[in-house]
Amino acid sequence: MRLVNNSLTMSLSKVCLSSLVGGNFLLVETDSNAIFTPEDISSDQRMMADTAARFMDKEVLPNIEALEQQDEGVTPRLFQMAGELGLLGMDVPPEFGGLGVGKTSLLGVEEQFTRLGGFGVTCGAHSGIGTLPLLYFGTEAQKEKYLSKLASGEWMGAYALTETGSGSDALAMRTKATLSADGTHYLLNGTKMWISNTAWAELFTVFAKVDGEHVTAFLVERRFPGVSFGKEEHKLGIKSSSTRRVTLEDARVPVENLLGGIGKGAYIAFNILNAGRFKLGAGALGAARESIKGAARYAMERQQFGRPLAGFGLIQEKLGEMAVRLFAGESAVYRTAGMMEAVFETGELVDSTTPPFPRGLEEFALECSIIKVSCSEILDDVADEALQIHGGYGYTEEFPPARVCRDSRINRIFEGTNEINRLFIPGLLLRRAQRGRLALVEAISRVEGELREISARPSDFEHRGSAGSGGVGSDLGQARSLVENAKRLVLHLFGLIHKKYGEKFSEEQEVVAILSDMIIDIYLAESALLRTAKALGRGKSAGVMADLAMAFVNDAAGRWEGLARKAFAVISEGDQLSQHLATLRSLMRWTPLNGVSIRRRIANRLCEVGSYPALVCLK
């Protein structure tokens, strides 16, 4: 690996340079050939996912009841089996017992594990936030001692950051670390709460303040003196995972187990959470895919009024919408994975930190938050509609939807609440602009100039969505133009909001969240369109993809307009508000598509082929 600065002057043949800058999607138009899609997965990567699928089908899902009851020894046994298959050390380099594969190879495995939410949490917390702090910030000696045990599943990892009083304000922690008189150990005192894997983990990454001031990370073994654990929390869902308190009472941690340097804990914590948010979002899609499969099957089998449920319009609306949202989320996840992998493969390190860490770990923090928020909410909605399609049966524990609904709810709280992540997205854009890392100010100025021309040439910004009028390619082109206008709208709003509130920008949480929701929709809509355009460019028949992408954009257009109206009403009034609304009308000119017809086509095809993957399979 080599050190580089943040100017990012290198050129990459695999992905265009502009796509390798976090948040830049909002400022530039992306080439569809520059993104990674599910259709780009290699045969080797599919084999890994198939291995995970067989493991889940044969070993895990038949043991749901035992796992949910946390029967003695069941989870550790299955966890170790996953390790023996190489499914827990995919991030870890071969020299430390892992597979050393890229981020795109992880997706299929993550999606399989989350078919059972609690087991997905166990494996995801281990291979993500439980292992990655050591992998990216550990010394060679620390890696030699622990990493192969984690990669093989011999040991389980855990991440201990949250405390009872700190909640979302992680840096308000009270756990303290004091150097012993002989200088050989740190004595840790405090209590960590909501710690996944506590019942079985052997190694904890624990965050504490050295001398009550410097946030620092430590590698704490389960059997270190002074470490104890609370009872199992009685949770709403993810019951097959373990969640307990970790209590530290003069816990003796050798000085060589300090991770990354004194005072580097916040940097470690927040950058590891980027990876955790991404993995959570990717995993949520696996559970959503499983729910759609079950809902479609039930809708075909269940007869009402002499015909299958799948023949009724409102059921078709639900099935179609579930697939539409999953397609958009999936497209964004794979796009982000490709960008992360491309940066990791450069070997670039951020030279502003000591020790330096991989740029790929923090470059796409904004996109990781988008993935976390959008995919957790997609799963919640899919799980809820799957239960509704099952009717009364869905409300019983005899059918999967009840468990999936319970399991899905935690994802909006895990890894930073969705509210915190919504505030983070515009805030990060602003901070990066202030540091010269993102040309946000220049982009806002450019948009302001363009908007002055709109009043004179409004037809240049008019985009109609009459499906089929000009062919799939024409419709997609119009949709992409609408997305570009949505970017202009967000940048225009961003400038107005910051001008009005200045340094108090972050305190106007409701308005910041509006910006965030618009940005999230832009990223998902653009990802869906780019994926479809890439498939069409390769000569594939992508009619279903086009339906899925266009349906999402069609609804996003209404959301963008509604959110912008709400924001303009907050920051302006009178003639100024009227002027802003006129700008909005010019930017968001879009003739609505027949969403009912599109979703019926999607639902009928889904029921015909039986699963979401088969629905989007290209020919």
> What proportion of the chain, given as a percentage, has pLDDT over 70?
93
Higher pLDDT, 462 or 521: 521
- For residues 172 and 132, the answer to whether their CB atoms sit within 8 Å is no
Dist CA 577 CA 582 (whole Å): 9
State pLDDT tens for residues 14-61: 345 566 899 999 999 999 999 999 999 999 999 999 999 999 999 999
Report CA 126 to chain centroid distance, whole Å.
Answer: 17
pLDDT confidence of residue 348: 86
Pairing of strands 185-196, 227-229: unpaired
State pLDDT tens for residues 111-122: 999 999 999 999
Residue 7 scores a pLDDT above 50: no
State pLDDT tens for residues 527-565: 999 999 999 999 888 899 999 999 999 999 999 999 999
pLDDT confidence of residue 325: 98
Dist CA 497 CA 302 (whole Å): 51
State pLDDT tens for residues 433-463: 999 999 999 999 999 999 987 766 655 555 5
Residue 157 pairs in a beta bridge with 203
Residue 12 scores a pLDDT above 80: no
Catalytic residue among 68, 111, 363, 415: 415
pLDDT confidence of residue 566: 97
Dist CA 107 CA 49 (whole Å): 8
Residue 204 pairs in a beta bridge with 158, 220
pLDDT confidence of residue 194: 95
pLDDT confidence of residue 456: 63
Domains and CATH numbers, the chain: 2-22+266-422 (1.20.140.10), 40-156 (1.10.540.10), 158-259 (2.40.110.10), 436-615 (1.20.140.10)
- For residues 111 and 284, the answer to whether their CB atoms sit within 8 Å is no
Q: 10 Å Cβ neighbour count for 585? A: 12
State pLDDT tens for residues 359-383: 888 999 999 999 999 999 999 999 9
What DSSP state is assigned to residue 348?
A: E
C-alpha torsion sign, points 59, 62, 63, 68:
positive
> What proportion of the chain, given as a percentage, has pLDDT over 90?
86
Dist CA 242 CA 231 (whole Å): 10
pLDDT confidence of residue 467: 44
Report CA 216 to chain centroid distance, whole Å.
Answer: 26
State pLDDT tens for residues 89-110: 999 999 999 999 988 999 999 9
Would you call 442 exposed, middle or buried from its count of C-beta atoms within 10 A (0-12, 13-18, 19+)? exposed
Would you call 318 exposed, middle or buried from its count of C-beta atoms within 10 A (0-12, 13-18, 19+)? buried
Dist CA 122 CA 126 (whole Å): 6
Dist CA 413 CA 403 (whole Å): 17
Dist CA 246 CA 390 (whole Å): 40
Cβ contacts of residue 363 below 8 Å, gap of 6+?
Answer: 20, 21, 22, 339, 340, 343
What does the H/E/C string look like for 461-505? HCCCCCCCCCHHHHHHHHHHHHHHHHHHHHHHHHHHHHHHHHHHH
If you average pLDDT over residues 295-324, what whole number do you get? 96
CA separation (Å) from 301 to 293, 504, 570, 607, 608? Answer: 12, 56, 49, 10, 12
Would you call 114 exposed, middle or buried from its count of C-beta atoms within 10 A (0-12, 13-18, 19+)? buried
If you average pLDDT over residues 577-598, what whole number do you get? 95
Residue 470 scores a pLDDT above 60: no
Dist CA 36 CA 21 (whole Å): 15
> E strands along 152-309, which residues?
157-160, 176-179, 185-196, 203-210, 214-221, 227-229, 243-254, 258-259, 303-304, 307-308
Higher pLDDT, 3 or 439: 439
Give the chain's mean pLDDT: 92
C-alpha torsion sign, points 526, 327, 613, 38:
positive
Residue with tokens 């832009």: 522
The SS3 call for residue 384 is: helix
pLDDT confidence of residue 18: 61
**Confidence at 6, pLDDT banded by 50, 70, 90:** very low
Q: Which of 3-7, 239-243, 523-527 has the lowest mean pLDDT?
A: 3-7
Q: 10 Å Cβ neighbour count for 146? A: 22
Residue 200 scores a pLDDT above 50: yes
If you average pLDDT over residues 203-215, what whole number do you get? 96
Dist CA 559 CA 568 (whole Å): 14
Would you call 514 exposed, middle or buried from its count of C-beta atoms within 10 A (0-12, 13-18, 19+)? buried
- For residues 387 and 406, the answer to whether their CB atoms sit within 8 Å is no
If you average pLDDT over residues 238-258, what whole number do you get? 98
Closest CA relative to residue 386, chosen from 304, 298, 310 = 298
pLDDT confidence of residue 320: 98
If you average pLDDT over residues 471-483, what whole number do you get? 86
Residue 350 scores a pLDDT above 90: no
Q: Extract the tokens encoding 411.
A: 């994802």
What DSSP state is assigned to residue 92?
A: S
Cβ contacts of residue 62 below 8 Å, gap of 6+?
Answer: none
**Confidence at 9, pLDDT banded by 50, 70, 90:** very low
Closest CA relative to residue 485, chosen from 450, 440, 441 = 450
pLDDT confidence of residue 257: 98
pLDDT confidence of residue 431: 94
- For residues 285 and 375, the answer to whether their CB atoms sit within 8 Å is yes
Dist CA 17 CA 280 (whole Å): 27
The H-or-E segment that residue 349 falls in is strand 348-350
Q: Extract the tokens encoding 342.
A: 């491309």
- For residues 429 and 494, the answer to whether their CB atoms sit within 8 Å is yes
pLDDT confidence of residue 354: 65
Q: Is 415 a catalytic residue?
A: yes
Dist CA 402 CA 169 (whole Å): 32
Amino acid found at 37: T
Dist CA 85 CA 367 (whole Å): 30
Residue 242's region, left for phi above 0, alpha for psi from -120 to 50, else beta, is beta
Dist CA 301 CA 143 (whole Å): 53
Q: Extract the tokens encoding 84.
A: 């023996």
pLDDT confidence of residue 453: 79
Residue 473 scores a pLDDT above 80: no
pLDDT confidence of residue 543: 92
State pLDDT tens for residues 131-147: 999 999 999 999 999 99
